[in-house]
Structure 1
Amino acid sequence: MSVSVKDVAAAASVSVGTVSNVLNRPDKVAPATVEKVHAAIAELGFVRNDAARQLRAGRSRSIGLVVLDVGNPFFAAIARGAEERAAEDGMTVLLGNSDERPDREGAYLDLFREQRVNGVLVSPTTDDLVALERLRDGGVPVILVDREVHDGSFPSIAVDDVEGGHLAASHLLAAGRRRLAFVAGPLSIRQVRDRLDGARRAVAEHPDAVLEVIEMSALTVLQGRAAGEGIVARPAAERPDAVFAANDLLAVGALQAFSLMADVRVPDDIALIGYDDIDFASATVVPLSSIRQPAHLIGYTAVDLLLRELAEPGGEHDRAVRFQPELVVRESTAR
């Protein structure tokens, strides 16, 4: 049989209102009474019904976060930053993995609405933001993470991916590389397209340079390895002399494929650069050059912006935060 607040009140010889104050506003109750109520809670094994409390309040103490790939250390770092900032305000983060699939993203958005979360942080799978608009119009604040919209319709936390792509390709070109390949994940993902746009701008500055686009089905190590194997299978004269991967997981996979071939040396034959600068980029068999994004800070700032939106909806605070990417050079591009 479940233990109720009335049972706790009877055991502690206090009113139900006093027990409620101890659970929700302990500063209003004498320390001795707080101790007595907590002793009764421990003795009876009382567990507070947060679901009922949330229904009465209209909101939970939770924030929803939907990322493209929870297995990617970049998004794991975003989640940790979000959890850290949420904890400072006594809140929790509910994590959802869309796996780059719009249907899974929609299912998590529906779940978070049912859970009456305080707000949702999301890295969208596509440019179709209708579901997010419905969520926002229904009273649930939405913050775009690792993505921005130019019309200002949603608050956002992002990195300038066009500049990041330009940085990566310019670095390869400055090293004398002229046959570049961009190993992409799905081009339906805005971040991937922006990085490609930046790379194209850099290549356009060098009339003797070319850029090949190799689109893969996902931003994973396995897809990167498949792309690398395809490059290795070509005659040496038809291979690119540099590869820019849309993220570090793709770059790690490509590096695995190159490392298995004795006649393909990184960076001598093919220079390789990734994107995100995840923790183990520096620990690969050939340490990986990358474009660094402040993942932890992105997550932390996203929750901070959400809390400001909750306190002052549509207020004067900065609703679009953009960080600048940073080039990190390691052995995979340095001869």
Structure 2
Amino acid sequence: MYRHRSDIQNVFNIDGLETNILDYMNSRPPDPGMAAGLTSSEAIGSNRFGSILDQLIDPCALLELQKHGYAVIDNVMKTSQSSNDQLGEWANKGKTGQDDCRSDTVAFLDRRDALECGLEDQFDFLLTLASHLNDNFDLYASPYKPVFPGTTTRPLTNPKGFNVQMAEYGFCDYYNPHSDNSIDREVDNDGAFGGTAVIHDYLGDDAILPKKRSNWRCITAILYLNEGWKTSDGGQLRMYLDSAHVESPSTARDTHEYIDVNPSNGKLLLFDSRMVHSVEEVLNENKIRRALTLWITRPEESGVSGEDYFMDISPSP
């Protein structure tokens, strides 16, 4: 109903929609997603993009992701201007407002939505990445047991449902420094995970337990759609280096070096979801910055209880 609120606001009373949706979202445990390689859309993608992935997401790119926590790969898959425009028109039907730390708007796509916008190749490509990483990427070791459908040998999964996000930034829009999988500072490590004895067996009695995270996001994959985007247009994604363990993302501006990634058409950015990053203000009033994001998840018995959601879901005009 939320996705079509502008169409139904004059037919149904939706005054309580925001409260009901937020209560529902905040009461749900994290979803472990679906097994990489077993979904219908990914089966399509695997057949079509397997060899392309081997060429593009090659050992050098994976080494960069392993060593530095991010990899930038140019000219992976470009989007036509007509599909970009269609995406903007489609997204206006159901975009969400955001909190005070960001001013962009987002919408979530399933494959039918992607097909409507002429972006089925981009959608399938993103959903193929988890399977490719399971087969080729050496993830950091974890003391926790995987949660099904994740397994010890194939720990990465894809989110279910409307699993690809479109984020849109217009003139002066921004996103302050944040982490896609931040440390949950509300929980004391001594009681965060339940199975601390097992963890000490794995890490040793004197080990400092990992901080509890807010979700199961492991690798963030962003595909940019913006033809002719220049550095002077602003809107760069700013990646703060070696910031995966920063507890207060807002402090990274003063404590960490960074690199800027220009959101040019066809560029793929992969990074550790724990790393702090921001989107700098868009400076060109005649351009709109769009990107597709997939959060590849690693569900584990690590005490994750989910995030608190806050949205402005007032009906679209």
TM-score normalised according to structure 1 size: 0.22
State the structure with more CA Rg. Answer: 1
Higher relative contact order (CA 8 A, sep 6+): 2
TM-score normalised according to structure 2 size: 0.23
Higher-helix-fraction structure: 1
